[in-house]
Chain A
Amino acid sequence: MIFGLPVISVTIWLPIIFGVLVLATGNDKNAPLARMLALAGGVLGFLVTLPLYTGFDITTSDMQFEEMHSWINRFNIHYHLGVDGISMLFILLNSLFTLIVVLAGWKVIEKRVAQYMAAFLIMSGIVNGVFAALDSVLFYVFWEAMLIPMFIIIGVWGGPNRVYAAMKFFLYTLLGSLLMLVALIYLYNLSGGSFEILDFHDLVIPMQAQILIFIAFFFAFAVKVPMFPVHTWLPDAHVEAPTGGSVVLAAIMLKVGAYGFLRFSLPITPDASHKLAGVMIALSLIAIVYIGLVALKQSDMKKLVAYSSISHMGFVTLGIFIFNTYGVEGALLQMLSHGFVAGALFLCIGVLYDRVHSREISAYGGVANRMPVFAAFFMLFAMANSGLPGTSAFVGEFMVIMGAVKVNFWYAFAAASTLVFGAAYTLWMYKRVIFGAVANHHVAELADITPREKLIFAVLAIFVLGMGVYPLPFGEILHVSVNDLLLHVAHSKLTN
């Protein structure tokens, strides 16, 4: 409880209320006020999530901080919220990144400031709702609502080809989720009139139905992750999105897909999951190897990091579908870490883009000569993206590889190739952008990062290093919930 209000509701509605307030400041004459309000919303929005962490009980797999109110009685739909070890950390991650995005857009966004800030704050609340919703209709509402602010962010503040990218993003993800709605209604009927996700977990479902449900969920979640071959919206969306949009897209939005697999697909359709695990693992390994290769030759920095994101999310889906503790915990840790690292990398590219207005690698060279502090931060995040031990990225990749080898040595073999490819595409880009002699007059005129930018990078660096050196506090939160989930997966739902 915060001031007598339930914690999760506050984490959802506080940012949304602030978003509306920011929106109310109107046009750009009031931009300074909009910024201050947005900052206040970002800071408060992050602070109110902290009780979730401090008050979290790591000994139970039950939902915590639960809230339950009836919402649409006719269909037995509830406003039901709660978190467990699988979802809790993502609410914190999301709220942290909202604050970071507000700070990152502080000076850069000069047009329609209020709308920009408001879009992020509102989205923050909605995403928290996605992670906390325990009623599937509520989940679906948040899930679809999440698209709208992001659609606007890309479509309004994006690059020259923003309309194509925004439409592609919107249609791709919308089509996927429609099938999910069908599956939810089927489950509602099967359960005898409940939309409760936890009730779905206990349903007995015949194999054929399980497979259809699995496929329906697959389209919704795989598009969001994104998994190969439904990934092509992501590079376009990233390239056209403004920096803040890319950051939230990479750090948060990709995680809801993987979260969906863990919350819906695995426990509701365990038999279908087992049956189709081979396909899922194959798609994950293709993502790791194929996309890793595709990333190598990208000439656009944002596209390169976007492809690298897809490749890293391949580890997440691989970890999920090998159904062992190392794999699933590794997948969750990888999701968290990827949030920090990919978010930080997009911010790095944003810093360069703000100054030179190009995302092309060839437009740079020798940036270290003019921006040594920036180069140091960028080095850290690039190394993290290469999975260097001591950074957060290593933890998840290490665990997933350890889990994969248990299932099949060659899975681990293919996954471990990221050690080479990941380093190759990241460090080759780094080399061409940062090292070398000053390449042109744009680079010669660069000024190093400002204290505001330093603050943002320092916060992310602390998380990247902290989680790399001491991941135990993060891991502990997962154990009980992941064990419970794996019990569900091991237990056939074909009969009682």
Chain B
Amino acid sequence: MDIQTLYLLVPLAPLLGAILAGLFGKWLGRKWSHRITIALVGVSLYASVQIFRSVLDGHSFDGPVYTWLTSGGISFHVGFLIDRLTVTMMLVVTSVSLMVHIYTIGYMEEDPGYQRFFSYISLFTFSMLMLVMANNFMQLFFGWEAVGLVSYLLIGFWYTRPTAIYANLKAFLVNRVGDFGFLLGIALVLMVFGSLNYADVFANVASHANDLAPIAGMHVNLITAICILLFIGAMGKSAQFPLHVWLPDSMEGPTPISALIHAATMVTAGIFMVARMSPMFEFSETALSFVMIIGAITALFMGFLGIIQNDIKRVIAYSTLSQLGYMTVALGASAYSAAIFHLMTHAFFKALLFLAAGSVIIAMHHDQDIRNMGGLRKYMPTTWITSLIGSLALIGTPFFSGFYSKDSIIEAVEYSHLPGHTIAYIAVVAGVFVTAFYSFRMYFLVFHGEERFGKAHAPHHPGAHDDRHAKETAHPSADTGQAEHHGLAPGQKPHESRWVVTLPLVLLAIPSVVIGYFAIEPMLFGGYFKDAIYVSAEHGKVLHEMREEFHGALGMAARSLLSLPFLLALAGVAMSWFFYMKRPDIPAAIQKRFQWIYTVLDNKYYFDRFNDWFFAGGARGASLFLAKFGDKFLIDGLLVNGTAGMVGKISGIVRRFQTGYIYHYAFTMITGVFVLLTIRNWFE
């Protein structure tokens, strides 16, 4: 098949799947809906692999597919840029998507919205592929918003649940705040460069490097302004502080999409975008510093929140936030390849952790509170082992994929010379301990220790949400026909999930272990990305120094056994074991002793409350005021109806002179004459 046809096939196959399952789902039935969508995502993965091979052979592509619109002498295209960065993303997206599609058969099997769900995740795959394959800013924005739409639809998939439809609106709006900056960045790009094609823009960045931004009243460097505006978009999509608030709530969506969208792919779109824009970011140290500091804050402070979560999905959600922070830090240190490397390893092990959590949730009959679990390793061996692999990868255990990528980031920050790199270094190193602690806290509480399930538990704990059922019972929800169940009944034992659930776990566990070992050398030091990523000579020193230190993947792992990050990770695991397996009274005592810290963490640093009060409440208040005072009182009341009323009043007075009775007129005339004569006499 022609290679360009393959390019088209990659996004269009999932789109076709989405359309078929979405429009004809009822007619196709459950079986055919999932068969068709899975087959088409499979086609997309196959085509991506073929394209990957052709790109390795040196066949890059940059060209339009069709002209979207022309205006003012400029053509806006939909077009593809296929290079090494793109194919890496295409492989990650299609492979994780395929796993999630298969897993969904098991996870959603009883759901009445089965076909709708498959339609959405295929639509998501299409949108994400359009995003990564774009060769211009406009299409990037298309994909950017489209993945946001599907995320909105999927977080609110169970639309009868108040928490879900609150979360999806919040996610969409917070993302829109980011997109607001993003779109303005794009507008500046078009204005300055006269084109939205990456190639045209990147080729001319250098000549504009010292321009001032055409922003009235501000004296900022043009490239800095563009980069920061674009990065605000990334802060929304990749949930960076302070636009991170939507991601934890997005866990209201079904677990497969938490894995696909809110861990592996969509949330990494911002990371990908900055890496793609490296030829621009390289010209602004201010922007890079900004990126690094935002990333560092996210990496450390979101990790803290993971420690006190009791909902299995929320623990993983906070760990995702923290890991996204790591990637962002790497971007700031100009180690774009390390960021993409971590993006890739993280996609596999985090998707794995989420899907494993989903498997646990099925086994626990949709109780998500880790305090009600324990000892599950006996009952679900596959889920147990794969979760352990995922957790080890996440905390950066040497030889696992996460180790290679995370350690590279830490090293890159260490060698960076940008303002703020010291804070960032402290944050990412401290983050290692925190990550290890909360990951294994969850792991021990779920898979080891005392079996706490199957007890007639109290009405469930705050913060832990049932993954499937509407909490309100006043009205029958859409998914009637399913018994309401919260957790296992007394005496009931959990059991391992079906093969459609465990197979993706196993298939994701493999890359979670090995991909770092194989990929580190080419990706970071072998020039794998070629010209897809640009690093200036000055900033390139970071990777250069790392290359000096690098003597093979095995050596790197072996050497790290004595390094600070590894010791911190070890300490984190040991402490979580001691706290939660050996002496559970200690964390309780600490919680009591440091109540205020716990309260701050439990309230997520009060961000949600502040946003609810200030932004949401403020907007509602302003709206009410403007509607009541501005429109109703001032304009309509005083001006419009006031004018009408005035006309009415005046005419009411004037009307009295026009009664039509002769004697009224005669009386008026005589009175008039009398008055006039009096006045005349007066003055004489």
Binding site for B on A (CB under 8 A): 168, 171-172, 229, 232-233, 290, 293-298, 324-326, 329-330, 366, 368-369, 379, 383, 388-390, 395, 398-399, 401-402, 404-406, 408-410, 412-413, 416-417, 419-421, 423-424, 427-428, 431, 434-439, 470-472, 475-476, 479
Contact = CB atoms under 8 A, between A and B. Distances in A.
Contact of A436 (B149, B162, B191, B624): B162
A416 B477 contact: no
Nearest to B626: A294
Contacts of A434: 159
B183 A479 contact: no
B146 A389 contact: yes
B630 A436 contact: no
A389 B141 contact: yes
Contact of A390 (B142, B190, B472, B619): B142
A132 to B, nearest CB: 25
B173 interface: yes
Given A168-B640, A293-B622, A408-B216, A395 B69 contact: yes
Given A297-B627, A416-B180, A424-B176, 13 more contacts: A171-B644, A172-B640, A233-B640, A297-B624, A399-B69, A402-B190, A410-B216, A419-B180, A420-B176, A437-B470, A437-B472, A470-B66, A472-B68
Given A412-B184, A417-B180, A294 B71 contact: no
Contact of A424 (B70, B477, B619, B640): B619
15 contacts: A232-B636, A294-B623, A294-B626, A294-B627, A296-B620, A389-B145, A399-B71, A402-B190, A416-B184, A427-B173, A435-B159, A437-B474, A437-B477, A475-B69, A475-B70
A103 to B, nearest CB: 22
A398 B624 CA distance: 29
Contacts of A472: 67-70
A193 to B, nearest CB: 36
A409 B215 contact: yes
Contacts of B156: 435
Interface in B138-174: 138, 141-142, 145-146, 149, 152-153, 156, 159-160, 162, 165, 169, 172-173
B165 A232 contact: no
B639 interface: yes
B646 interface: no
B619 A293 contact: yes
A479 B70 contact: yes
Interface string B614-640: 000001101110110011000110011
Interface string B368-391: 000000000000000000000000
Contacts of A476: 70
Given A232-B640, A388-B145, A402-B191, A470 B68 contact: yes
Contacts of B160: 366, 369, 435-437
A368 B179 contact: no
A204 to B, nearest CB: 29
Contacts of B353: none
Nearest to A293: B623
Interface in B381-438: none
B184 A438 contact: no
A413 B623 contact: no
Nearest to B180: A419
Nearest to B621: A297
Contacts of B636: 232
A369 B69 CA distance: 39
B622 to A, nearest CB: 5
The 7 closest A-B pairs by CB, nearest first: A325-B72, A297-B623, A296-B623, A405-B187, A437-B475, A435-B165, A409-B215
B214 interface: yes
Contacts of B623: 293-297
Nearest to B644: A171
Interface of B: 66-73, 138, 141-142, 145-146, 149, 152-153, 156, 159-160, 162, 165, 169, 172-173, 176-177, 179-180, 183-184, 187-188, 190-191, 213-216, 470, 472, 474-478, 619-620, 622-624, 626-627, 630-631, 635-636, 639-640, 644
Contacts of B152: 427
Given A298-B627, A470-B66, A423 B72 contact: no
A325 B74 CA distance: 10
A405 B146 contact: no
A434 B169 CA distance: 13
Contacts of A298: 627
A495 to B, nearest CB: 28
Nearest to A413: B184
B169 A427 contact: yes
A290 B626 contact: yes
Given A290-B626, A416-B183, A435-B165, A423 B188 contact: no
Nearest to A410: B216
A388 B175 CA distance: 12
A409 B214 contact: yes
Nearest to A290: B626
Contacts of B73: 325
B71 A369 contact: no
A229 B639 contact: yes
A142 to B, nearest CB: 26
A329 B165 contact: no
A417 B184 CA distance: 10
Contacts of B626: 290, 293-294
Contact of A368 (B69, B159, B474, B619): B159
A479 B71 contact: yes
Contact of A431 (B145, B169, B187): B169
A399 B141 CA distance: 14
A294 B180 contact: no
A365 to B, nearest CB: 9
A483 to B, nearest CB: 9
A401 B187 contact: yes
A229 to B, nearest CB: 5
B188 A232 contact: no
B317 to A, nearest CB: 22
Contacts of B162: 436
Given A389-B141, A419-B176, A471 B68 contact: yes
A298, A398, A409: which has the most chain B beta carbons within 10 Å?
A: A409
A495 B215 CA distance: 35
A322 B313 CA distance: 50
Given A290-B630, A423-B176, A401 B165 contact: no
A208 to B, nearest CB: 27
B159 A436 contact: yes
A324 B172 CA distance: 32
A99 to B, nearest CB: 24
A409 B216 contact: yes
B486 to A, nearest CB: 18
Nearest to B141: A389
B70 A405 contact: no
Contact of A232 (B153, B215, B631): B631
A303 to B, nearest CB: 9
Given A388-B145, A416-B184, A436-B160, A428 B622 contact: no
A298, A410, A435, A475: which has the most chain B beta carbons within 10 Å?
A: A435
A421 B472 CA distance: 30
A420 B622 contact: no
A336 to B, nearest CB: 13
A401, A419, A475: which has the most chain B beta carbons within 10 Å?
A: A419
Nearest to A404: B187
Contacts of B620: 296-297
Contacts of A421: 619
A341 to B, nearest CB: 16
A171 B648 CA distance: 14
A382 B474 CA distance: 28
B184 A405 contact: yes
A229 B622 contact: no
Contacts of B622: 293
A288 to B, nearest CB: 13
A239 to B, nearest CB: 13
Nearest to A168: B640
